[in-house]
Homo-oligomer: A and B are copies of this chain.
Amino acid sequence: MSYFCLKAKQLFKMSDDVLKYNIKLPEPTLRRLPWYLAYLKLLKDKGEESVSSTQISKEINVDASQIAKDLSFLNITGKTRVGYDVSSLVEVLEDFLGFTKTHRAFIFGAGSLGAALLHDNGLEQYGLRVVAAFDVNPKKIGTIINGIPVYNINDYNQKREELQVNIGILTVPVDKAQSVADQMIEGGIKAVWNFTPFRIKVPKHIVVQNTSIYAHLAVMFNRLTYNAIEKSEKK
């Protein structure tokens, strides 16, 4: 047990070093790391102590060499013939991905998708705590959704200073996406998680993460139609 604790501490230190070295990880790597984490957590729950990149590769459908390369960004190397230590790897990944810290966020637009996200307590497990929502609709202002208050958008600047929030989740209608993004950034938001299908423009130092779940729907519908046609042609 003490070995693992020591090991984890060493690795935590390393992961801090990576941040200190100021490495901007490639986005594809950052997107794959949570897949590894999900699988490693399963292994950990099963009581597995070590895992090889080949073993991860079989489960995740990513080349073993790619996995080793991705994990090397975290300064983690497996041992020959033993592989990676599962517990340490889980801890380092969670830490490195920012899931162990609490990042406070505001939601802009308590409409359908905004309200949906307010209901997702799972976000907090991944380090995101939504502390308030903002809207312009008088019917929504003053309400509480899943324990989170909905304020008037006019109170945003004051609330941001009070609550020290850096992240804004954008779930307003498309025609308001740019103007609300501008307002968020002017008030001090440093990262915009954009759930609208609109491509917002932001200053260079602002982080934008686009998550258009409806675009994913389009891909799925197209593939479904394609498969149905292919199947009917084979008959």
Contacts and interface: CB of A to CB of B under 8 A. Distances in A.
B126 A116 contact: no
Oligomeric state, in copies: 2
A233 interface: yes
Interface stretch (A79-87, A151-159, A191-199): A191-199
Interface in A192-235: 193, 196-199, 201, 205, 207, 209, 211-231, 233
Nearest to A122: B112
A229 B22 contact: yes
Interface stretch (A2-10, A28-36, A131-139): A28-36
A218 B97 contact: yes
A162 interface: no
Contacts of A38: 174, 196-199
A197 B37 contact: yes
Contact of A223 (B24, B59, B61, B97): B24
A224 B167 contact: yes
- A interface majority secondary structure: helix
A99 B127 CA distance: 33
Interface string A44-63: 01000000000000011100
A180 interface: no
Nearest to A192: B220
Contacts of A119: 112, 115-116, 119
11 contacts: A19-B229, A24-B223, A30-B219, A34-B218, A35-B215, A39-B198, A98-B217, A112-B119, A112-B121, A113-B120, A123-B217
